[in-house]
């Protein structure tokens, strides 16, 4: 009797879960379906769920409408540079806050935490003016550097470095290793798990960034993927088949990173809770 009821509730739970995750994932399925449809099927009502005559023409034609090769190069370059810089600077600062007692360390740390209260949306007008003043509008630097200093990264690295025993550092000091050597040869290799979490979030944030490119980019050669996708739509008419094909391509790198590092994603959230 009891086992029977349990079975039913377990079955019902699976049904609920399958329904929820299908509904959650449905927009992506719809994107894939549209991307492989010929125009005649894209603009057809009522719509088909599965393309009757699947085609790759959306990918081929869509790719040539905007300089997508360049766009992907730009986005990859910006994302990688920013991720490496961000992770490096955050671990330097995080290490200092975890393992040194220096005059003003509390003040500086609070200052960094306080910037969590100041999203980019608040400062976008002066950042735009500032980039204009130093001639960084419409440049790679202008897309990379404003996003490098992430308070959350410093916080994450500090929490992680605190778990590393201080004796390890002191022993190396007694061996005569310089502070920088200790950091690079002993501490940084130990920080790989935290660095992985940080790098993934930084990758995600940078690849998906929209507002900063929207303000900084003026010419087509500097377009990033999100800005390119938003410009793909016409004033009056949009070829949704081609747009969905390009959207699908833009998701693939994120999807690969997600599948490869799913554990880190989840762990990162429970570590810090924040981000976004």
Partner 1 sequence: MTGTEKGLRLSFFRRRPNISGIKVVPYLFILPHMLLLFIFVLIPVVWVLVLSFFHWDVFFPPRFIWFNGFIRTLREPLFWKSLGTTAFYVCGHLLFKIPIAIGLALLLNRRIKGRILFRGLIYFPYVVSMVTVALIWQWMFSAEYGVINFLLSGVGGSYTKNILGNPKLAIYPIIALGVWKNAGQTMVIFLAGLQGIPETVYEAARIDGAGPWKTFWYITLPLLKPITLFVLVISTLGSFKVFDQVYIMTNGGPGYATMTIVQYIYREGFERFNLGMGATASCYLFLILLSITIIQMKFFGKEAGYQ
- The answer to whether residue 46 forms part of the interface with partner 1 (CB under 8 A) is yes
Instruction: Give whichever of 64 and 274 is closer to partner 1, judged by the CB atom.
Output: 274
> Which 139-158 positions form the footprint of partner 1 (CB under 8 A)?
145-146, 148-149, 151, 154
- The answer to whether residue 27 forms part of the interface with partner 1 (CB under 8 A) is yes
Instruction: State the nearest-atom distance from the C-beta of 36 to partner 1, in Å.
Output: 14
- Distance in angstroms (rounded) separating the CA atoms of residues 103 and 223: 44
Span of 50-58, 118-126, 160-168, 188-196 interacting with partner 1 by CB under 8 A: 118-126
- Distance in angstroms (rounded) separating the CA atoms of residues 94 and 205: 20
Instruction: State the nearest-atom distance from the C-beta of 86 to partner 1, in Å.
Output: 9
End-to-end CA distance of the chain: 47
Q: Total residues at the site for partner 1 (CB under 8 A)? A: 87
Instruction: State the nearest-atom distance from the C-beta of 69 to partner 1, in Å.
Output: 19
- The answer to whether residue 93 forms part of the interface with partner 1 (CB under 8 A) is yes
Instruction: State the nearest-atom distance from the C-beta of 70 to partner 1, in Å.
Output: 18
**Contact (CB, 8 A) for 66 and 247:** no
The torsion region of residue 114 among left (phi > 0), alpha (psi -120 to 50) and beta comes to alpha
> Which 183-242 positions form the footprint of partner 1 (CB under 8 A)?
183, 204, 207-208, 210-211, 214-215, 226, 229-230, 233, 240
Neighbours of 190 (CB within 10 A): 14
Instruction: Give whichever of 1 and 107 is closer to partner 1, judged by the CB atom.
Output: 107
Instruction: State the nearest-atom distance from the C-beta of 199 to partner 1, in Å.
Output: 14
- The answer to whether residue 270 forms part of the interface with partner 1 (CB under 8 A) is yes
Using alpha carbons, select from 200, 195, 209 the residue that is nearest to residue 74: 209
* Residue 2 to residues 14, 233, 261, Cα–Cα distance (Å): 18, 57, 40
- The answer to whether residue 269 forms part of the interface with partner 1 (CB under 8 A) is yes
**Contact (CB, 8 A) for 262 and 200:** no
Helix then strand count (H, E) for the chain reads 16, 0
């Amino acid at each position: 009797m009891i086992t029977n009821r349990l079975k039913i509730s377990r079955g019902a739970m699976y049904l609920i879960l399958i329904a929820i995750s299908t509904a959650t994932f449905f927009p992506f399925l719809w994107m894939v379906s549209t991307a492989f449809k010929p125009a005649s099927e894209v603009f057809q009502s009522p719509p088909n769920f599965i393309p009757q005559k699947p085609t790759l023409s959306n990918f081929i034609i869509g790719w040539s409408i905007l300089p997508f090769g360049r766009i992907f190069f730009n986005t990859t370059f910006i994302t990688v540079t920013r991720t490496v810089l961000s992770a490096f600077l955050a671990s330097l600062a995080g290490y200092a806050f975890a393992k040194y007692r220096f005059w003003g360390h509390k003040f500086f740390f609070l200052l960094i935490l306080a910037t969590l209260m100041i999203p980019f949306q608040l400062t976008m007008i002066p950042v735009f003016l500032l980039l204009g003043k130093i001639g960084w509008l419409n440049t790679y630097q202008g897309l990379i550097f404003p996003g490098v200093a992430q308070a959350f990264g410093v916080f994450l690295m500090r929490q992680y470095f605190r778990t590393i025993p201080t004796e390890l550092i002191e022993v190396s000091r007694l061996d005569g290793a310089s502070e920088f050597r200790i950091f690079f040869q002993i501490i940084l290799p130990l920080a790989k798990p935290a660095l992985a979490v940080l790098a993934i979030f930084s990758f995600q944030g940078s690849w998906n960034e929209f507002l900063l490119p929207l303000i900084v980019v003026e010419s087509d050669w500097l377009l990033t993927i999100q800005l390119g996708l938003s410009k793909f739509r016409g004033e009056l008419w949009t070829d949704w088949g081609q747009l969905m094909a390009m959207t699908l391509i833009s998701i693939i790198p994120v999807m690969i990173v997600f599948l490869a590092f799913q554990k880190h994603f989840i762990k990162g959230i429970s570590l810090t809770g924040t981000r976004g």
